[in-house]
Amino acid sequence: MLCQVEVVITFKKEIKDPEGDTIHKHLLLRRGYDSVKNVRAGKYLIFNVDVTNCSEALELIKTACEKLRLYNPTIHDVEVRIRG
């Protein structure tokens, strides 16, 4: 069974996000999107995993993200979920 697992990596709320700030201040606000109050940027990864069930794929990718340090737990939040 082929399962897709999504991983979303973002800076923790207390960590400055220069890319999000640039998008907000230099693109959106300058073009009149004043109702947008904040932008947070991040990384979005999709893994196609061949396993017997999708819960196995989820655990596999969670473990891989932690062991392979795909994110820094000191400054990043990570969300791992089944796509779809």
**Structure confidence by residue, pLDDT tens digits, 64-73:** 999 999 999 9
Q: How many angstroms separate the CA atoms of 24 and 34, rounded?
A: 9
pLDDT tens-digit series, residues 26-72: 999 999 999 999 999 999 999 999 999 999 999 999 999 999 999 99
DSSP state of 8: E
pTM: 0.86
* Buried/exposed code over 35-59 (b: 16+ C-beta within 10 A; e: otherwise): eeeebbebeeeebebeeeebeebbe
Q: How many angstroms separate the CA atoms of 39 and 14, rounded?
A: 14
Q: Domain-by-domain residue ranges, the chain?
A: 2-82
Q: How many angstroms separate the CA atoms of 74 and 77, rounded?
A: 9
Q: Which amino acid is at 52?
A: T
What CATH number has the domain spanning 2-82? 3.30.1280.10
**pLDDT > 90? residue 84:** no
